[in-house]
């Protein structure tokens, strides 16, 4: 099952929309109302951005709201609330809520909740990182003391879960900051839920409901972007399972189950890590997941785990990008030149090398052909049909 995040486009055929319907926590109901109110306005309310998650394959697809955000709040929907079918989870319930200077996380397994409060001294300066960066190991990593973490506390002292009354300051064995004298060491769970509920009602739901409902809620189809034919096809190696699906699909796709009726799809390997998202020099698209392809036809090696090479000739340029691998390589070369005793990049340096290449990502139809080491990136939302691919080289064990 693929999972990809997009702004709103027309839902592809055979798509089921998943609404948040859980009532596990007091904030569930208002979050569902927000989703349904936005839908009635065609997801178009000034100042509010909506991001969707598409999952499923072939002719069996699902869509849900993934994130709703504005300047002063963020709602993240990814909590399991049941099963779509016998194989896949329905993850459309609210998981994380951020409002000014406060964050609340809830979980399907009754652990937590987790609550964060801002304790810095310059909210306008820290607002972006509080709302977007991960809150992990702040003290251990010598990050500024901008937040405190509180976890749901159980009276049995062996388990955290939401049925109990307190949210207690948690320093994660010294990896997070402790509350200082005069700062709260705990909060009442019901009061925290009530505060979030009321804030969302007054500042989000009421704002949305004050906007007139759309008279035509049917979205227009996303236009196809012409593929630059002068660029030519690109290539990728595939394994046995993909090879068999393409062979069967080209013969007759009806012999495949609905979820398998596609040739290839975009991948989930990120170009840039999600760890830091406040670098404005990096396009937001660089944080998505992609399948990596080459403009040059690769060779199958003797010990290659892949069984064939596929030539891809897309019908359109939608959801296909190009980045340059050269900046990452040059960053690594310079690092080892300055640190000759190091055998590997530290994690932060490795992530910076990826950011160097992430800054180069462009839609493929805007690519000028000027990259030293170009890589073609197919976004996870893009599926290639059987007539967009052609199998070229095949290993001997397949052809015998």
Pairing, β 60-70 against β 15-18: parallel
Task: Give the pLDDT score at 158.
Answer: 44
Nearest to 106 by CA among 177, 47, 22: 22
Domain coordinates of the chain in residue numbers?
2-209, 229-399
pLDDT tens-place string over residues 231-270: 999 999 999 999 999 999 999 998 998 888 899 988 889 9
Pairing, β 166-169 against β 374-379: unpaired
Residue 110 is given by DSSP the state: S
Contact in structure between 128 and 95 (CB atoms under 8 Å): no
Task: Give the pLDDT score at 343.
Answer: 87
| Cβ density class 33-49: b for 16+ within 10 Å, e for less | bbbebbbebebebeebe
Average predicted confidence (pLDDT) for the chain: 89
Task: Give the pLDDT score at 368.
Answer: 94
Task: Give the pLDDT score at 85.
Answer: 74
Res 314 pLDDT > 90: yes
Tokens 């236009």 correspond to what residue? 223
Rounded to the nearest 10 degrees, the angle between the axes of helix 326-338 and helix 347-358 is 150
Nearest to 328 by CA among 390, 273, 380: 273
Instruction: Count, in order, helices (H) and strands (E) of the chain.
Output: 8, 23
Res 159 pLDDT > 50: no
Contact in structure between 57 and 385 (CB atoms under 8 Å): no
Structure tokens at 181: 């004298």
Q: Which of 88-102, 217-231, 320-334 has the lowest mean pLDDT?
A: 217-231
Res 160 pLDDT > 50: no
| % pLDDT > 70, the chain | 90
Contact in structure between 265 and 291 (CB atoms under 8 Å): yes
Res 138 pLDDT > 70: yes
Task: Give the pLDDT score at 47.
Answer: 96
Q: Assign 324 a pLDDT band (cuts: 50, 70, 90).
A: very high
Contact in structure between 106 and 162 (CB atoms under 8 Å): yes
**34/12 Cα distance (integer angstroms):** 24
Contact in structure between 322 and 369 (CB atoms under 8 Å): no
pLDDT tens-place string over residues 55-64: 878 877 889 9
Res 95 pLDDT > 50: yes
* Consecutive H or E run containing 77: strand 73-79
Structure tokens at 272: 């840039």
Task: Give the pLDDT score at 238.
Answer: 95
∠ Cα 386 66 169 (to 5°): 140
Q: Which of 151-165, 170-184, 383-397 has the lowest mean pLDDT?
A: 151-165
Tokens 């402790």 correspond to what residue? 178
Mean pLDDT of 129-137: 93
**pTM (predicted TM-score):** 0.64
Q: Is 121 helix (H, G, I), strand (E, B) or coil?
A: coil
């Amino acid at each position: 099952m693929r999972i990809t995040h997009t702004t709103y486009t027309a839902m592809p055929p055979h798509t089921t929309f998943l609404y948040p319907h859980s009532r596990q926590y007091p904030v569930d109901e208002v979050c569902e109302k927000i989703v349904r109110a936005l839908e009635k306005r065609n997801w178009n309310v000034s100042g509010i951005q909506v991001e969707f998650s598409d999952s499923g394959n072939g002719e069996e697809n699902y869509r849900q709201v993934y994130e709703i955000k504005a300047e002063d709040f963020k709602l993240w929907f990814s909590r399991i609330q049941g099963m779509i079918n016998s194989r896949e989870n329905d993850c459309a319930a609210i998981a994380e809520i951020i409002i000014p200077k406060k964050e609340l996380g809830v979980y399907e397994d009754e652990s937590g909740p987790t609550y964060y409060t801002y304790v810095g001294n310059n909210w306008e300066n820290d607002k972006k990182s509080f709302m977007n960066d991960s809150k992990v190991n702040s003290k251990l990593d010598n990050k500024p003391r901008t937040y405190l973490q509180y976890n749901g506390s159980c009276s049995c002292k062996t388990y955290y879960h939401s049925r109990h009354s307190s949210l207690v300051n948690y320093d994660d064995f010294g990896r997070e900051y402790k509350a200082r004298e005069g700062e709260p060491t705990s909060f009442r769970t019901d009061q925290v839920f009530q505060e979030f509920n009321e804030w969302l009602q007054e500042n989000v739901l009421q704002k949305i409901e004050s906007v007139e409902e759309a008279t035509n809620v049917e979205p227009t189809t996303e236009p196809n972007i012409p593929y630059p034919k002068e660029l030519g096809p690109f290539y990728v190696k595939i394994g046995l399972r993909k090879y068999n699906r393409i062979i069967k699909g080209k013969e007759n796709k009806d012999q495949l189950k609905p979820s398998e009726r596609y040739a290839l799809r975009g991948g989930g390997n990120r170009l840039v890590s999600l760890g830091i998202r406040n670098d404005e020099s990096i396009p937001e698209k660089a944080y998505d997941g992609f399948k990596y392809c080459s403009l040059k036809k690769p060779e199958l090696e003797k010990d290659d785990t892949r069984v064939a090479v596929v030539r891809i000739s897309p019908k359109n340029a939608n959801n296909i990008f190009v980045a340059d691998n050269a900046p990452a390589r040059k960053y690594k070369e310079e690092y080892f030149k300055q640190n000759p005793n190091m055998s590997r990049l530290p994690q932060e340096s490795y992530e910076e090398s990826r950011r160097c290449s992430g800054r180069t990502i462009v839609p493929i139809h805007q690519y000028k052909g000027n990259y030293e080491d170009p890589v073609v990136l197919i976004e996870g939302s893009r599926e290639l049909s059987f007539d967009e691919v052609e199998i070229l080289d095949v290993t001997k064990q397949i052809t015998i």
